[in-house]
Amino acid sequence: DQQVKQNSPSLSVQEGRISILNCDYTNSMFDYFLWYKKYPAEGPTFLISISSIKDKNEDGRFTVFLNKSAKHLSLHIVPSQPGDSAVYFCAASFTGNQFYFGTGTSLTVIP
């Protein structure tokens, strides 16, 4: 049973615009969330995290929003750049132990 879901397999955005990637989870016990970026044949690259005591965390162009009541997580990239084109995974865990990953969203930023 998929506990973390990314319902959009792909997303295309114009360079300079905002990219919004969404993630839903089913288990209310999750208290730590991550977004990863992955290029083909490489390991995940950590982007940004958020714990359940917060509803927003910002790091440069990347902002993660957490809506606990809706069990929803989103990653905003502003402004989007062609180098952001990759597959983005969200992941959730209990206190940073085992992570449950979504299936990923492939982002294409069009120059």
Partner 1 sequence: GAVVSQHPSRVICKSGTSVKIECRSLDFQATTMFWYRQFPKQSLMLMATSNEGSKATYEQGVEKDKFLINHASLTLSTLTVTSAHPEDSSFYICSARSQTVKAFFGQGTRLTVV
Q: Under a CB-based contact definition with an 8 Å cutoff, are residues 27 and 58 in contact?
A: no
Question: Is residue 1 a contact point for partner 1 (CB under 8 A)?
Answer: no
Q: Which of 15, 20, 22, 32 binds partner 1 (CB under 8 A)?
A: 32
Site track for partner 1 across 61-90, x = CB under 8 A: ----------------------------x-
101 binds partner 1 (CB under 8 A): yes
- Percent helix, strand, coil in the chain (nearest 5)? 5, 55, 40
DSSP conformational letter for 84: G
Our CB check for partner 1 shows the closer of 80 and 89 to be 89
CA distance 42 to 17: 26
How many whole angstroms separate alpha carbon 60 and alpha carbon 48?
A: 10
Which residues here bind partner 1, judged by CB under 8 A?
2, 4, 32, 34, 36, 41-44, 46, 49, 89, 91, 93, 96-104
